[in-house]
Chains A and B, each alone.
Chain A
Amino acid sequence: MEPTIKVRVARDGEWAAVKSLILHPMETGLRKDPETGATVPRHHITRIAYTHNGRPVMVAHCSTAVAKNPWLTFSFRGARAGDRFAVEWIDNLGGTDSLELVLD
Chain B
Amino acid sequence: MPDFTPRSARLGREQSVTNTSRRTFLQAGLAALAWLLRPGSFIAAGGGVAAPGVAAGAASAAAFAGAFDATTAPDALRLLYGGAHIEPSPAVSLTAPQRADNGADVPIAVAATLEGVRAIAIVIEKNPRPLAAVYETPDGTKPEITCRIKIAESCTVLAVVETAGGLFSAAAEVTVTQGGCA
Contacts and interface: CB of A to CB of B under 8 A. Distances in A.
Interface stretch (B9-17, B22-30, B126-134): B126-134
A74 B128 CA distance: 27
Contact of B137 (A49, A58, A68): A58
Contact of A78 (B134, B140, B182): B140
Contact of A71 (B52, B137, B147, B180): B147
A15 B141 CA distance: 9
A28 B104 CA distance: 11
Interface in B133-164: 133-138, 140-142, 144-151
Contact of A63 (B132, B137, B181): B132
Given A56-B138, A57-B140, A65 B127 contact: yes
B96 interface: no
Contacts of B2: none
B14 to A, nearest CB: 24
Q: Give the bracket for the number of chain A residues in contact with chain B.
A: 35 or more
Contact of B133 (A61, A68, A74, A96): A61
Interface of B: 49-54, 57, 60-61, 64, 68, 104-106, 124, 127-129, 131-138, 140-142, 144-151, 180-182
Interface of A: 15, 26, 28, 30-31, 46-49, 51, 54-68, 70-78, 88-90, 96
